[in-house]
Structures are given as structure tokens and as C-alpha cells.
A and B are shown apart, each in its own frame.
Chain A
Amino acid sequence: MSAVHTATSLNQALEMLAQYPEAQLMAGGTDLLVRRRSSMSGSDILFLGRVPELQDITEQSEFLAIGAAASLRCIIADPLVKQYAPLLVQALGTIGGPAIRNMATLGGNICTASPAGDSLPPLYLLDARIELVSRTGTRSVPIASFIHGPGQTARHNHELVSRILLPKVRPLAQEQFVKIGCRQALAIAVASFAGQAELDERGHLAHIRMAWGSVGPTVMRLPALENELTGASITPKHINYIRAALRTGLAPISDGRASATYRYQVAANVTARFVEGLRETSQS
């Protein structure tokens, strides 16, 4: 039997974290409890699901703050998230199934730091910052710096992820999240794509940002490619250029779900479809 320490405030959670530094942090538990079952872990649990400061979704002057322990269901339904981060809403709706989404949290999805985490590609594009609190203070870290690799984050043992901060910017005209799984629900992504783009009055790319999941140890970005494409028109030559850049820039592996070849092919194809869709938008 393991002890479960239930915090009812953020301060209490931080005290418990200091008192029980080996305790495993749990909010929704949908990843942790599966891992504990397979590893037969006997560590204590620090349960954060009753900490109100970690559940709130609030609008600040410059950013939207999503509590790390807010359920995916609450986040999906929140009007502020729909307003400022519709791309994130798209992605969260693909995670697990309805009951999982009632339980799982955004903080959990981020801290699990799976290469296939569905919330992650949109969070990278949204320039999410991860707020960490401890008894000595608060800091925030860009998500790209927070996730170091599969299962590895920048959280120190004495810190809790408290909120996910999304800069309040207008969503771009075209935003899309695509998840390729082996079935339509309860699926782990074989490859995923998040794209944001906007065309100027000439039909050229005024903005384009892209992120890919499940094709590398963490979310993949290709900022050089985005820079090259900004201001460009969309032609078959550009599509081929994108495909070539992905072939060298992505790092998929082969595993039980799919081969590296398929992962590259499908990532390239859905990216091409997104970009070509922009061209069709510009011509309509």
C-alpha cells in the first residue's frame, strides 16, 4: 500500500512536495496509474486533483492561463480556450475517449512528454509557456525548452507545473490539427501535424507555422523552412521543397504501430495537403 497525500491548496501541495520529495505527482492519473501498474511502483502519490488554483482557466492581460490540473473536457468546453486557442481544442478532442478526457489533464499530457502527445504540437505553435511554482518562487519556460525528450522535462523535483500560459493572439485564418492513428478513437498518434497559416492579398504566405508529432523524440519544428516559405506563393515546386525539407528534418522511428517510412510519408502528405489547401483558398 502506498500513501496518498491529497493537497487542497497550492501552498499545501508545495509543502507536501517538500515533505515527500519521492512522491509521484498525480492529477488525472490516466498515464501515471498505467505506468504504476506495469512498474509495480510503491512510491507515495501526491494527488493534485483537489487544488483549485490548478484547475482554473483565466484570462490575464497578455495571456490565457490554463490550470495544469484542469481536465481536458473542461478545457475543450471553455469559451476562452475556443476563442484564443481553437487549434488546441481540435487536438485535445482527439485524445483517448470521452471518459479519458473527463479525467486527463493538460499538465499531465505535457509532463508525460510522450513523443506522441497530442496536445504538444499545437502548444508549440501557440508559443505556450509552462509555469512552474515552488516554495522559493515562480518561473515560466517556453514549452520547447520545458520538454527535453521522451518523459523528460525541465521540472525540478521541488517544483509543480501550475499553469500553461498561452499568449493572447488572434488565431490565424487557417489552422488545422491532424492526427493519424490506427483507429478513430482510443488511438496513439502514428504521426500528427499542426499548422497555422495566413495568406496575404496576393495569395502568398504571409505567415506559416508548422509542428509535427510522433516523428521525432519531441515535437519537431522546422523554422528555416517556415522562413523560406514566408512571402512565397504556393506552387508545386514549393510543395516538393517542403517534402524534401521534411525528409531531412523529421526523425521518425519504426515501432509496433508504424514504420519510419510510413510516418515520414504521411507527415509529408498531410503537410502538403494543408499547404495546397491554402492555395485553393487563395484561388477561391
Chain B
Amino acid sequence: MVEPIFDYQFRLILIGDSTVGKSSLLKYFTDGKFSELCDPTVGVDFFARLIEVKNGIRVKLQLWDTAGQERFRSITRSYYRNSVGVLIVFDITKRQSFENITGWLAEAKFHIEPHQAVYMIVGHKSDCDTERQVTVREATQFAQLNGLKYIETSAKSGHNVEDTFQILAKDVYKLLEEGRVKIEDGWDGIKPGFKRGNENVHIEEEETEKSKCC
């Protein structure tokens, strides 16, 4: 269970082709487990984990695991808007998933803007280096071309999984510190956390009530 006290909640969304391993990546990040078999995600699923982006600053990452299947595309579009961080995941062993990144990135930007968000490109299944169809160099180049960071991960080996989310969360926190993103009504990309003190319950109640009303 998630630690109760944190300062902020960042909403991060994972997008990318089906079967690139988004859910596995999140499962490993949140549970530390990897399972070979994984049902395709329906619509969107949720994960959460608490991390520290800075000394004493704890952030709850609410991770939106979207369905990669084309048939859910129309639905997953609905979920971009309230995200402050976007992980665009592709499978380094599937060339097509890399080439579709452009489309995913454009779609995410289209729905997120004008809000600020941190985008990051993740080459997944780095454990399957022998089957690699996308070189690190071209993936890095593509990322740089779009002004983004590129990282390769593996839910199987756990390679870079932790770092990926740490980097993303810290970048988001930097945006927050710089004032380029902020907590605001009607946008759930960043929410205040359960602060130590009286407000805890109130915040929670407010939130629940809000959602109830709607």
C-alpha cells in the first residue's frame, strides 16, 4: 500500500504500441515483479508509487497505463489531458513500434498542450539486445531531435526502470519549481498531496466530494 504522506501527486501516462511492455514496465516499477504473461490492457489501468524527487519532497506518481491496442485509441486520447509526464514506450525488438513513436508523440502533444508536460522516450525490452531492431544511436538521435530524453529499460531485468521514473519525476518537479507548471483547478496533472497536519483528511474529502459531484 502506498505511503500515506506525500507532497504532490504527479500524473504520468504511458503510451505506445500494444505489447511493447507498458504494463509490465509499470508492474515492475510498482510491484518489483515481472510476469511473462500479461493481458492486454483495456482502456486504461492505474498504478501508483511514491518516490522522492528531492530531499524531503515525496511525490506520488499516479501512473496511467493506457491500452496500446488500436481499438482503444479513441478512448485513450481522452486521458492525455491531465498528464504532466508522458512516457512514450517502444519495443526495441519491433521496428514498427519505434516508427510509430512520432505519431504517439504528436497525439500526446496535441491533447496535452497548451499545458506543459515532460515527454520521454523509452526503448523497452533492453534485455532482448540480440533481437534489437532499433539502435541506441538512432533512438537517441530521434529523441534529441525532439528535444527529449531517451532511455532503455527492461521490465525483465529491471534495467533502468527505477531511473526512468526518477528522471521523469525530477524533470516534472523542476517544471513545478520553475513555475512552468502549477497546481490548478480543472487540471489534475499535479495535485497537492496529503500534507502532514490537519489538512490531510480535508483534502481527501474534498477530492472525493468533487468526483462525486461530477
Q: Do A and B bind each other?
A: no
**A: which residues have CB within 8 A of B?**
none
